Structure 1
Amino acid sequence: MLKTYKLYVGGKFPRSESGRVYEVTDSKQNWLANAPLSSRKDARDAVVAARKAFGGWSGATAYNRGQILYRIAEMLEGRRDQYVAEVADAEGLSKSKAAAQVDAAIDRWVWYAGWTDKIAQVVGGGNPVAGPFFNLSSPEPTGVVAVLAPQKSSFLGLVSVVAPVIATGNTAVVVASEKSPLPALSLGEVLATSDLPGGVVNILSGRTAEIAAPLAAHQDVNAIDLAGAGEELAKELEIAAADNLKRVLRPQPVDDAGADWSATPGTDRMTAFLETKTVWHPTGALGASGSSY
């Protein structure tokens, strides 16, 4: 019997509100499994779960977030063979090439885990001012981020867009690759048994345009990553996102082979969803007792 996957929302595995599923096939059109066909209601539920989880996740120490992400990487490595098979089927790759993709994805997850307690030192700092003040800038997470996973890179691309969002303290509503959702849905199974709080990552599958539209227009979504949107859809979503001034990360230019997700990522995807808070504090001021503080 073929497996019927479920969504991953709020740390649980609900069926789609609509009760719909669709057939997932491999590169040769062989039927692999059934995946949920998410509805607008599922998208709204995922946003509610992400917002509920944001306070705790953003308030956790950067070190704690890093340790949780490191553990997830270990768990991904423990299911390496499963992911190799899923990526090979999804992308029509040989086992060796699929293994290279999976290894790169696990390394990418570890790389972002290492940035959790370092990114603030890179993008924050003290600012020189003309006056008796300290002027300090520090990064803070934007909030709930809707992430459209890349369509062609089912696992390496997925990790490359999800990990930087949560590493910096945001929570995510992820729309899996429409044709190749199984690696993303399997990621939900890993996250559910990790120390990651429920709701930090929520995973939906189905028709990308159908799910993305309500997320782009949702007033409680603070940002959207359009990595998995085509040019026409990206324009429509960007217009919808402007209604509540969402941060929008536009998709990378792609050629016939798609975006190069194996390239060194840099810090751009982390800083894209960070806000800068600046604090002024007087120096040499006198307290009530006359002592300086």
Structure 2
Amino acid sequence: MSERLSVFKTYKLYVGGKFPRSESGRVYEVTDSKSNWLANAPLSSRKDARDAVVAARKAFGGWSNATAYNRGQILYRIAEMLEGRKDQFVREVSEAEGLSKSKAAVVVDAAIDRWVWYAGWTDKIAQLAGGANPVAGPFFNLSTPEPTGVVTVVAPQESSFLGLISVIAPVIATGNTAVVVASEKSPLPALSLGEVLATSDLPGGVVNILSGKTAEITPSLASHQDVNAIDLTGADTDLARDLEIAAADNLKRVYRPRPVDFTADPGTHRLTAFLETKTVWHPTGSLGASGSSY
């Protein structure tokens, strides 16, 4: 029997639940920590970024209106699928971050646990971020959190999987949709995450993953009028400043970059970063049954 040829993996973008190549046709070389070639990743263009925003906006209505329980079940199912493909992610994280297989396994386990942790918050965040407000007069006054909308996420550059999970999961757990710009140096775990999401129950467009040059993709997303917020975690100081200025054009919510240890307890600040508060006044007694919100 003749020796068979290996089938090399072709990494693609994940946009709108599908796997397109970059519309520009460009790719760039991804190497490991020792500069050995790993794969060619798509080099996203501004057109790819705009397509991702369209997909995220289209998915927002259904995802934001899904029950918190349903979102939690979908996210937990994704964690089950990540567990089933753990060996693949261990290999990719090991190559991306220059870790031994045993240390990469610890990182991947932590990332899956982090995803489960955020899945558990979907039906609890309303109690944390909302509540009844005391008012003078015969009214109930209730504040409830609602998702901001389409969120651009600049993924961490160095933490290719645990950091990636830590910035995506809270965005979608609270009902937002995401356009993720993967780590420029280590995009392969992010692109493989897209394969998991595509075969889960997560609706297409809720998460869209782009790879390429961070400084090339992000300016058009920061200035995009249909993007409601941006997480600058993976942007360096100069790029973050420029993106924040561009984001001010339509008053986007901005999560500024800050030192972070992704292995530490994440807290709830990322869950509340991209939530709006709706306040509802409802008359009591004989004033009527209709209410108003502001």
Q: Identify the TM-score tier after normalising by the shorter chain.
A: over 0.9
Q: How many residues align?
A: 283
Give me the identity figure in percent. 86
Report the secondary structure of 2:285's partner residue. coil
Q: CA deviation at 1:285?
A: 2.1
Letter in 2 for 1:93: L
Matched, 1:14 2:15: no
Matched, 1:54 2:60: yes
Report the secondary structure of 2:28's partner residue. strand
Q: CA deviation at 1:287?
A: 5.1
| 1:188-236 Cα deviation digits (max 9, x unpaired) | 0000000000000000000001110100000000000001000110000
Distance change (3 Å), C-alpha of 1:280 and 1:87: same
Matched, 1:222 2:228: yes
CA distance in 1, matches of 2:208, 2:287: 50
CA distance in 2, matches of 1:132, 1:198: 45
Q: CA deviation at 1:21?
A: 0.4
Matched, 1:198 2:199: no
2:113 to 104, 107, 110: 107
1:291 is aligned to: none
Distance change (3 Å), C-alpha of 1:58 and 1:287: closer
Letter in 1 for 2:283: P
| 1:162-207 Cα deviation digits (max 9, x unpaired) | 0000000000000000010000000000000000000000000000
CA distance in 2, matches of 1:276, 1:32: 45
Letter in 2 for 1:80: K
Aligned pairs (5 A) from 1:176-191: 176-191=182-197
4+ residue runs over 4 A deviation: none
| 1:131-180 Cα deviation digits (max 9, x unpaired) | 11100000000000000000000000000000000000000000000010
Letter in 2 for 1:275: E
Report the secondary structure of 1:115's partner residue. coil
Matched, 1:31 2:37: yes
Matched, 1:133 2:133: no
2:292 is aligned to: none
Aligned pairs (5 A) from 1:245-284: 245-253=251-259, 259-284=260-285
TM-score, length of structure 2 as denominator length = 0.95
Aligned pairs (5 A) from 1:79-90: 79-90=85-96
Report the secondary structure of 1:285's partner residue. helix
TM-score, length of structure 1 as denominator length = 0.95
| 1:50-81 Cα deviation digits (max 9, x unpaired) | 00000000000000000000000000000000
Report the secondary structure of 1:197's partner residue. coil
Distance change (3 Å), C-alpha of 1:145 and 1:286: closer
Distance change (3 Å), C-alpha of 1:239 and 1:286: closer
> What is the CA RMSD across the aligned residues, in angstroms?
1.0
CA distance in 2, matches of 1:97, 1:231: 29
CA distance in 1, matches of 2:129, 2:61: 22
CA distance in 2, matches of 1:71, 1:64: 11
CA distance in 1, matches of 2:277, 2:177: 18
Q: CA deviation at 1:286?
A: 4.6
Q: CA deviation at 1:4?
A: 2.3
CA distance in 2, matches of 1:170, 1:230: 24
Is 1:54–1:171's contact at 8 Å kept on the other side of the alignment? Answer: yes
CA distance in 2, matches of 1:209, 1:111: 31
Letter in 2 for 1:272: A
Letter in 1 for 2:86: R
Q: Which runs of 5+ in 1 are unaligned?
A: 254-258, 289-293
Aligned pairs (5 A) from 1:111-126: 111-126=117-132
| 1:232-255 Cα deviation digits (max 9, x unpaired) | 1000000000000000000113xx
Matched, 1:74 2:75: no
